[in-house]
């Protein structure tokens, strides 16, 4: 195999919703009350029910030189167009050699958590359904074969949640985003049978539960004086706390076809987690009363958990310690961790260094994702048109040079000291204050 022969399907990317995303999909009775983009303090922000609820800049730095990463983008014109425009997104995917993409929300929160805390449940449900319809019809279906659709559900009504899963699954949506720890948002834990109707709907309709890092358990800032690099380092691994919680959760016995994904979690740390989980079970289950029906915790993980990585040399070196059939790849466009426009090159260099076979490469780059997410781009596009080489040939008109000076808030750096957690928290506070103006 050559680099040009790779087929890359990313199970973790993000869409910056365009300003009109909700306008055509909210019910007529809520006309004028749909989430919309407004100008606040010189910044484009989303507003829902007269409350400014989020801005996009921090997660939309793709295409900028790394020196301009941070809080700089303030409006859509300060972002690369592929972050929010579907045609430009496909162009950027082609330039990167990426065939397929599963895109998490931005304004609603990666798990749709902003819609789960509003007092008016009726309009919240309408907003969730409007988002789902925009995401499926205006985003994914605008480029057939290129996207794995992802749905939101209401957390406050499990019958409505199950109904939404069934509604979307009939239209080909087989992925749902959910917090890795709903108790953070005031909901029952995943150990509570409250969630059983949702688990059953997902199992019955072959829907994967996708838990993105940061939607529940978050990496902690050690101190305001700690370099922000320390926090960024621990972000993916932080989901290990939730991974352990999900391993010991009861839904796997009740719904054995259910699966979940640790989105943006990486894979290098997983062999030790599984070793520790099995150690814990052997040493403690006699008094903790945990019961896996003759299985080990690692068996539960390997049967039900989908994993993914961006760059992970250690993980690729130790693929024999995890379930190869559940390992997938991700790009993370347009976030600062993404490797665009060199994702194919980065993966190829790391895979080649480990002498990974063509069979394993195909499994972790696309075949596992296609099977787990019920996604078949070959039937639509033809396999020969899905390779890195074929896609990049369609993108010769796309500029991949770093875009200097896209504008926004000028980065403030002191070459004599690192940017700290306190600096970033103060940036967030200042941005929130501007948004409230």
Question: For the segment 346-359, what is each residue's pLDDT rounded down to a tens digit?
Answer: 999 999 999 999 99
State the pLDDT confidence band at 40, using cuts at 50, 70 and 90.
confident
Question: For the segment 45-57, what is each residue's pLDDT rounded down to a tens digit?
Answer: 999 998 887 666 6
pLDDT above 70 (res 437): no
State the pLDDT confidence band at 58, using cuts at 50, 70 and 90.
low
Please state the rounded mean pLDDT for residues 366-386: 98
Of the candidates 309, 385, 391, which has an alpha carbon nearest to the alpha carbon of residue 347? 309
Cβ contact 190:251 at 8 Å: yes
What domains are defined for the chain? 3-435 (3.20.20.140)
Count of all residues that appear for the chain in the document: 437
The residues, any chain, with a CB within 8 Å of residue 213's CB and separated by 6 or more, are: 180, 235, 236, 238, 239, 262, 263, 264, 265
Question: For the segment 231-271, what is each residue's pLDDT rounded down to a tens digit?
Answer: 999 999 999 999 999 999 999 999 999 999 999 999 999 99
The residues, any chain, with a CB within 8 Å of residue 437's CB and separated by 6 or more, are: 40, 41
Average pLDDT, the chain: 94
| Residue 189 burial (CB count, 10 A) | 12
Angstrom distance (rounded) from CA 148 to CA 135: 10
Question: For the segment 60-105, what is each residue's pLDDT rounded down to a tens digit?
Answer: 899 988 888 876 778 899 899 999 999 999 999 999 999 999 999 9
Percentage of the chain lying above the pLDDT 90 cut:
84
pLDDT at 54: 65
Higher pLDDT, 429 or 212: 212
pLDDT above 70 (res 153): yes
Cβ contact 56:73 at 8 Å: yes
pLDDT at 360: 98
pLDDT at 318: 95
pLDDT above 90 (res 148): yes
pLDDT above 70 (res 307): yes
The residues, any chain, with a CB within 8 Å of residue 235's CB and separated by 6 or more, are: 213, 214, 219
pLDDT above 90 (res 41): no
Percentage of the chain lying above the pLDDT 70 cut:
96
pLDDT above 80 (res 409): no
pLDDT at 428: 74
């Amino acid at each position: 195999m050559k680099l040009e022969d790779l087929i890359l399907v990313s199970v973790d990317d993000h869409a910056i919703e365009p300003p009109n995303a909700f306008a055509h999909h909210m019910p007529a009775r809520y006309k004028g009350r749909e989430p919309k983009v407004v100008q606040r303090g010189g910044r484009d922000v989303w507003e829902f029910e007269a409350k400014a609820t989020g801005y996009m800049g921090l997660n939309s730095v793709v295409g900028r030189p790394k020196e301009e990463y941070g809080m700089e983008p303030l409006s859509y014109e300060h972002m690369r167009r592929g972050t929010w425009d579907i045609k430009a997104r496909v162009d950027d995917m082609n330039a990167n050699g990426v065939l397929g993409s599963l895109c998490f929300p931005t304004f609603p929160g990666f798990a749709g958590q902003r819609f789960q805390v509003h007092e008016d449940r009726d309009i919240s449900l309408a907003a969730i359904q409007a988002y789902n319809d925009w995401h499926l019809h205006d985003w994914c279906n605008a480029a057939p074969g290129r996207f794995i659709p992802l749905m939101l559900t209401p957390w406050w009504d499990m019958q409505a949640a199950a109904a939404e899963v069934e509604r979307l699954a009939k239209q080909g949506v087989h992925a749902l985003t959910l917090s890795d720890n709903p108790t953070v948002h005031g909901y029952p834990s995943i150990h509570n049978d409250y969630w059983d109707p949702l688990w059953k709907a997902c199992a019955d309709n072959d829907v994967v539960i996708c838990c993105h890092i940061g939607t529940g358990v978050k990496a902690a800032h050690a101190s305001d004086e700690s370099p922000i690099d320390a926090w960024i380092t621990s972000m993916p691994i932080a989901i290990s706390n939730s991974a352990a919680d999900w391993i010991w959760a009861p839904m796997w016995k009740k719904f054995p076809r259910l699966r979940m994904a640790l989105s943006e979690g990486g894979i290098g740390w997983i062999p030790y987690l599984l070793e520790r989980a099995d150690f814990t079970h052997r040493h403690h289950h006699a008094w903790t009363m945990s019961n896996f029906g003759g299985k080990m915790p690692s068996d539960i993980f390997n049967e039900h958990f989908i994993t993914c990585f961006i760059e992970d040399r250690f993980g690729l070196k130790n693929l024999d310690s995890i379930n190869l059939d559940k390992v997938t790849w991700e790009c993370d466009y347009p976030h600062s961790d993404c490797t665009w426009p060199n994702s194919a090159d980065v993966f190829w260099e790391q895979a080649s260094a480990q002498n990974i076979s063509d069979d394993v490469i195909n499994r972790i780059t696309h075949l596992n994702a296609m099977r787990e997410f019920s996604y078949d781009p070959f039937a639509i596009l033809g396999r020969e048109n899905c390779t890195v080489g074929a896609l990049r040939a369609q993108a010769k008109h796309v500029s991949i040079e770093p875009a200097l000076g896209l504008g926004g808030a000028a980065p403030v750096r002191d070459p004599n000291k690192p940017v700290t957690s306190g600096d970033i928290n103060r940036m967030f506070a200042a941005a929130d204050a501007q948004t409230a103006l």
